[in-house]
Structure 1
Amino acid sequence: MTKIRAFDHVDTWVFDLDNTLYPHHVNLWQQVDQRIGEFIGAYLKVSPEQARFIQKDYYRRYGTSMRGMMTEHGVHADDYLAYVHQIDHSPLEPNPAMGAAIAKLPGRKLILTNGSTDHAGAVLNRLGLAAHFEAVFDIIAAELEPKPAPQTYHKFLRDHSVDPARAAMFEDLARNLVVPHQLGMTTVLVVPDGTREVVREDWELEGRDDPYVDHVTDDLTWFLQELVQNS
């Protein structure tokens, strides 16, 4: 049996953004999801049903619907990102308990997201977490190649001088932990708490028992509090 990796050696803490730093049941991403469908429908001049099918097909095959639209239809990333991230961030509430726990983690804290820096900034500001993170590595920094593309992780590690053997990665999609685990990172999958409805595809909620997932939590604030308390 594969040994579960611990945290005692970790000095760099890498967090995904959406559905990781805030609970799944906030369903903030549902707004983005809806606007992606609107963008695809308008751009391709197809029905909402056709747009939805294309959106989810590209998401699964390319990592993001945007990457699929760029590859298959020549969409410009700037136009796409500007439209889909025009959302209401007010459902997010400050999380001082999480902020206090993140502040106590030893070492650096970074964001690795398939979203944009503008969206990340809005989310972090609403959560009251912006001051705790050294940098955001977004889809533009990734040269528009989303997770789980291996080159995205390699570029992130290079750009921020991160030793993966001394890093931990927190994610809500198990497939985005495959490469980090292969590179030597300790991996944490953040799942819904099961008490409230979440708007996710079935496959997005899979993978909690996969060998590249070292830890699973449905309460990231509690998990981080336990980490710092026991360190």
Structure 2
Amino acid sequence: MKSPRTFAHVETWVFDLDNTLYPHHVNLWQQVDARISEFVSAWLKISPEEARIIQKDYYRRYGTTMRGMMTEHGVSADDYLAYVHKIDHAPLEPNPQMGAAIKKLPGRKLILTNGSVDHVDAVLSRLGLGGHFDGIFDIIAADLEPKPSPQTYQKFLALHAVDPTRAAMFEDLARNLVVPHRLGMTTVLVVPDGTKEVVREDWELEGRDAAHVDYVTDDLTGFLQGLRV
């Protein structure tokens, strides 16, 4: 069995946002998920049940429901993002331990998310992590092409001058680590800790044993604190 990649050479640390920088069981994304269902139902003038089926189908096929709605129905990204991210961020609590662990990492720290900058800023503010990142690459920077699209990672790497062979990526969806691993990144899958119920699709929780996943953790703060870098 091949040994996983290490972190000694890493100079750029790349983090997803939702369900990665905060625990899955906060279920903050559940609020966004519900707003997406409402948007799809209203836009297509269909029942909530029908909207839910279409929402999840587009999410799986296009990477985000938004991309599916844009492609199939001509939805405006601005309208969509403004609606679905209008949520209550109060369930998020400050995490100074994670902040300290991220601060100690040598090199740059970047966020690569399928969400919007406004959503990132709101989440980081609640977590107390606002000053710990050197850049944000959101769905707008990606020209509305979400992860796991290969060109999205290439745009990210080019925009921020990242050498993928000297980078690590932290993600909650294993499929979003396929391309980073192929490009040479050390990959870490962040999974639920099992203490509380989480609202996720079965496929979203798959991939722990995949060859493109170097490490798996259910405690990102503890994992970062334990790194020898």
The TM tier, using the shorter chain, reads over 0.9
d(CA) in 2 for partners of 1:2, 1:82: 45
For residue 168 of structure 2, give the secondary structure of its aligned residue in structure 1.
strand
Q: Which amino acid aligns with 1:145?
A: E
Structure 1 partner of 2:63 = 63
Map 1:67-106 onto structure 2 (within 5 A). 67-106=67-106
How many residue pairs match? The answer is 229
Q: Which amino acid aligns with 1:118?
A: D
Structure 2 partner of 1:33 = 33
CA-CA distance at 1:10 after TM superposition:
0.1
Aligned 8 A contact 1:146 1:152 in 2: yes
Structure 2 partner of 1:6 = 6
CA-CA distance at 1:123 after TM superposition:
0.2
d(CA) in 1 for partners of 2:12, 2:220: 17
Q: Which amino acid aligns with 1:187?
A: T
Aligned 8 A contact 1:12 1:108 in 2: yes
Q: Which amino acid aligns with 1:158?
A: A
Structure 2 partner of 1:42 = 42
Aligned 8 A contact 1:2 1:211 in 2: no
Between the aligned residues of both structures, percent identity stands at 80
Deviations 1:17-67 (A, max 9, x none): 000000000000000000000000000000000000000000000000000
Deviations 1:75-126 (A, max 9, x none): 0000000000000000000000000000000000000000000000000010
CA-CA distance at 1:215 after TM superposition:
0.2
For residue 131 of structure 1, give the secondary structure of its aligned residue in structure 2.
coil
Q: Which amino acid aligns with 2:77?
A: A
| Moved beyond 4 Å, runs of 4+ | none
Structure 1 partner of 2:184 = 184
d(CA) in 1 for partners of 2:50, 2:134: 41
For residue 216 of structure 1, give the secondary structure of its aligned residue in structure 2.
strand
Structure 2 partner of 1:174 = 174
Structure 2 partner of 1:150 = 150
* Length-normalised TM-score, structure 1: 0.99
Aligned 8 A contact 1:173 1:205 in 2: yes
Aligned 8 A contact 1:25 1:192 in 2: yes
d(CA) in 2 for partners of 1:16, 1:2: 26
CA-CA distance at 1:130 after TM superposition:
1.0
Q: Which amino acid aligns with 2:122?
A: A
Query: What RMSD over aligned residues (CA atoms) do the two structures have, in Å?
Result: 0.5
For residue 66 of structure 1, give the secondary structure of its aligned residue in structure 2.
helix
* Length-normalised TM-score, structure 2: 0.99
Structure 2 stretches of 5 or more lacking a match? none
Structure 1 partner of 2:202 = 202
Structure 1 stretches of 5 or more lacking a match? none
d(CA) in 2 for partners of 1:30, 1:148: 21
For residue 22 of structure 1, give the secondary structure of its aligned residue in structure 2.
coil
Q: Which amino acid aligns with 2:95?
A: N
